[in-house]
Structure 1
Amino acid sequence: MNGVTGRMGYRQHLVRSVLAIRDEGGVVLSDGRRVVLEPVLVGRNESALSRIARTHGIAEYSTDLAGVLDDPSIDVYFDAQLTSVRHKALVAAIEAGKHTYAEKPVVETVDEALEIAALARAAGVKTGVVHDKIYLPGLLKLRRLIEGGFFGRILSVRGEFGYWVFEGDWQQAQRPSWNYRVEDGGGIVVDMFAHWSYVLESLFGQVEAVTARAVTHIPERVDEHGAPYAATADDSAYAIFELAGGVVAQVNSSWCVRVDRKELVEFQVDGTEGSAVAGLWGCRAQHRSATPRPVWNPDQPTTEAFRDQWTEIPDNGTFDNGFKVQWEEFVRHVVEDAPHAHDVLSGARGIQLAQAGLASSEQGRRIEIEPLDTDQ
């Protein structure tokens, strides 16, 4: 596991996924057997690795990635490093015969992702890319409605994501400064369009075209050391995604918005038979038969409590950590060839969508998304 000294790699992938699976006795396979995970930590900071290993009872850690990849007892290489340095490590891992699982965006360009896919095919190893958002409880409830035919014909999707990230001057920023420097791989389009790609594809249909506007609303921020820096990457993006089947999705992504909704991300889905609003945890719906009859009257104050007219969708079960579920899914894919849709080509489509979004913003026009040439 490379990159576990970072917040996401440590909290979600190491502690809440791999170690949690280890503590539960392993990943359960279809025949009842269990696959036990034993992490080997890799990184540049030996003291940080040592501290994490001691804290969690991990036997092995190293600053020598090449040496770890040469170890025949290692089956899977996981990467949560900065995107800008991930390509070289993934190539090395595949050449060493390791299955690879990586954070998104998996690499910086579509060509790099297609190269990795080709190398993996030639080496006979499997690939996976993180796709955590589709395991959010709210989106799982939304999927239940979709699969149950609740919406009839789906017409449109409206997504709102984001929150105010402090500039770092009078309050510390909630995100690292590299997120706001394009030279370090930052930018909300690169970050979030990779998510919207698999979310939209998984729930509603593959993205066929995008029209986007990416902007930098806050041009200067203050870094972790109190030094001002130029924010060269986009911090907000406003996009229209055209999906297969005629569904239109409008998604706003912003680190410069104050939240006036129930959750930090919400998707409203409207169909001929009903509508729903899904967030991180909650999902509420309104069927055609229960839809009120609003009347536009600007001369009178609104008296209807519109949000009270929706029905909350019950949990009807328990929801595990989405990152952990993905790890279990990928391990089953590796060990018993269980289905796994989110490979490096899925990651490539996310990168392709981000690049198309940036091109649309720069050129001021709609960009069609061409099928990837997977024969490279």
Structure 2
Amino acid sequence: MDSETVRIALNGVTGRMGYRQHLVRSLLALRDQGGLDLGDGRTLRPEPVLVGRREPALRAIAERHGLRHWDTDLDSVLSDGTVDVYFDAQITAARPEALIRAIAAGKHVYTEKPTATGLADALEVARLARSAGIRHGVVQDKLFLPGLLKLRRLIDGGFFGEILSVRAEFGYWVFEGDWQPAQRPSWNYRAEDGGGITIDMFPHWAYVLERLFGRVTSVMAQVSTHIPNRWDERGKPYEATADDAVYAVFRLDGGIVAQINSSWAVRVMRDELVEFQVDGVLGSAVAGPRRCRIQHRSTTPRPVWNPDQPTTDSYRDHWQEVPDNQPFENAFKAQWELFLRHVALGEPYESDLVAGARGVQLAELGLRSSAEGRRIEVPELAL
């Protein structure tokens, strides 16, 4: 079998997501398994080229994993004709400019979401990528989680019949940073740095809803900054200028109603940090990142409302676990494999920069809905 190398510039690997999910659990895992079998007698072997601003951190990561190539000069990396793909996992505010430079250099681009903090920039990046004729993609990792893959299996198999509604809860308590370190970086809570849970999570909800249930046609949202003061990585207090919670109702094609609460100021009383409940005429399901449970119409119990008596029924016991039935890859690695096949073979790829722009659009409209106190229609994007 012939082996080919694809050189991938990774910008932002000193951050948690870029390092753990994209470098270690995706590209290095692919390298360690011998590369990606393209199915045509070729194997594609990824070779990471690390890019970032912090030289000591880059050098340490490179030495830890036996990587030879790293650089603090993005232009130098982009001018290297042997680099095939540019990947971006920087803070959102820095992303559009870097993507535009990579596109101008003729690189295929793959990026974390959101692709920009505003729709105008997201559309500009998508337009430039299309005009340049390069391959382009955006991370949509939730679609590849085991729980949502099981949910997709149920939908494709007609388990629900007519789907009526989707309800989701996402979030957890992010420590303020004074007496316990925060689990998220401080820029997430500064609007001037591109922070905010709406711009962070609505791009996720956009593709999950669109790919599983139907296009979002309207949104009504309420955003909040519940914790106004936090402490940064150096223990310095700062004002939280970005939203840390958003409560939204979406209307989808076909009339499905989706309600999604997202909060970094909520304590978890559920089995997983995000759960989607899907209710249909024939059955219901609750799916998280790993698990998926179902209740069919024929096994639905008969609850009776009587607040004067203690509840004797354990409602959770009436739900059935959906079996795995297949091995599941790391969600980020699974999507990297699809994108690299798209680069090498030109296979169809739905998670492109246009899809990324739709996610930014939904976030922007959600913020506008909250500011104006009304439901807003979601227009089709025109590139």
Kindly state the Cα deviation for residue 32 of structure 1 after the two structures are TM-superposed: 4.0
1:6 partnered with 2:15: yes
Partner of 1:234: 243
Trace 1:233-252 onto structure 2 (pairs within 5 A).
233-252=242-261
- Residue from 91, 94, 105 that aligns with 1:85: 94
Distance in 2 (CA, whole Å) between partners of 1:279 and 1:117 is: 31
Letter in 2 for 1:366: R
1:126 partnered with 2:135: yes
Partner of 2:3: none
Partner of 2:30: 21
TM-score by length of 2: 0.96
Distance in 2 (CA, whole Å) between partners of 1:32 and 1:114 is: 37
Aligned residues: 374
Q: Please give the per-residue CA displacement for 1:231-263, whole angstroms capped at 9, x wherever unaligned.
A: 111101100011111110000000111111111
Kindly state the Cα deviation for residue 226 of structure 1 after the two structures are TM-superposed: 1.0
Partner of 1:344: 353
Kindly state the Cα deviation for residue 30 of structure 1 after the two structures are TM-superposed: 3.2
Distance in 2 (CA, whole Å) between partners of 1:32 and 1:321 is: 25
- Residue from 208, 221, 224 that aligns with 2:217: 208
Trace 1:198-347 onto structure 2 (pairs within 5 A).
198-347=207-356
Q: Please give the per-residue CA displacement for 1:292-330, whole angstroms capped at 9, x wherever unaligned.
A: 111111111111000000000001111110001111110
Letter in 2 for 1:108: T
1:154 partnered with 2:163: yes
1:99 partnered with 2:103: no
Identity %: 66
Q: For 1:218, what is the secondary structure of its paired residue?
A: coil
Q: For 1:169, what is the secondary structure of its paired residue?
A: coil
Q: Please give the per-residue CA displacement for 1:328-347, whole angstroms capped at 9, x wherever unaligned.
A: 11000011011210000000
Distance in 2 (CA, whole Å) between partners of 1:320 and 1:26 is: 15
Distance in 1 (CA, whole Å) between partners of 2:250 and 2:286 is: 18
Distance in 2 (CA, whole Å) between partners of 1:138 and 1:250 is: 19
Partner of 1:182: 191
Q: Please give the per-residue CA displacement for 1:248-285, whole angstroms capped at 9, x wherever unaligned.
A: 00000001111111111000000000000001111100
Q: For 1:262, what is the secondary structure of its paired residue?
A: coil
Partner of 1:73: 82
Distance in 2 (CA, whole Å) between partners of 1:293 and 1:316 is: 31
Q: Please give the per-residue CA displacement for 1:66-99, whole angstroms capped at 9, x wherever unaligned.
A: 1111111111000111111111111111111100
Partner of 2:7: none
Kindly state the Cα deviation for residue 59 of structure 1 after the two structures are TM-superposed: 1.1
Q: For 1:134, what is the secondary structure of its paired residue?
A: helix
Partner of 2:4: none
Distance in 2 (CA, whole Å) between partners of 1:100 and 1:357 is: 27
Letter in 2 for 1:195: H
- Residue from 25, 44, 60 that aligns with 1:35: 44
Letter in 2 for 1:229: Y
Distance in 2 (CA, whole Å) between partners of 1:230 and 1:265 is: 27
Please, what is the CA RMSD of the aligned residues?
Answer: 0.8
Kindly state the Cα deviation for residue 372 of structure 1 after the two structures are TM-superposed: 0.5
Kindly state the Cα deviation for residue 126 of structure 1 after the two structures are TM-superposed: 1.1
Kindly state the Cα deviation for residue 287 of structure 1 after the two structures are TM-superposed: 0.4
Partner of 1:172: 181
Distance in 1 (CA, whole Å) between partners of 2:298 and 2:24 is: 46
Distance in 2 (CA, whole Å) between partners of 1:221 and 1:302 is: 41
- Residue from 60, 71, 82 that aligns with 1:62: 71
Q: Is the 8 A contact 2:167 2:276 kept in 1?
A: yes
Distance in 2 (CA, whole Å) between partners of 1:315 and 1:5 is: 34
Q: For 1:38, what is the secondary structure of its paired residue?
A: strand
Distance in 2 (CA, whole Å) between partners of 1:245 and 1:163 is: 32
Q: Which runs of 5+ in 2 are unaligned?
A: 1-9
Q: For 1:340, what is the secondary structure of its paired residue?
A: coil
Q: For 2:46, what is the secondary structure of its paired residue?
A: coil
Q: Please give the per-residue CA displacement for 1:125-182, whole angstroms capped at 9, x wherever unaligned.
A: 0111000111111111111100000000000000000011111112111111111111
Distance in 1 (CA, whole Å) between partners of 2:171 and 2:130 is: 37
Kindly state the Cα deviation for residue 9 of structure 1 after the two structures are TM-superposed: 0.5
Q: Is the 8 A contact 2:220 2:369 kept in 1?
A: yes
Q: Please give the per-residue CA displacement for 1:216-241, whole angstroms capped at 9, x wherever unaligned.
A: 01111111111111111110110001
TM-score by length of 1: 0.98
Distance in 2 (CA, whole Å) between partners of 1:32 and 1:12 is: 28
Q: Please give the per-residue CA displacement for 1:193-227, whole angstroms capped at 9, x wherever unaligned.
A: 01000011110001110000000011111111111
Q: For 2:11, what is the secondary structure of its paired residue?
A: coil
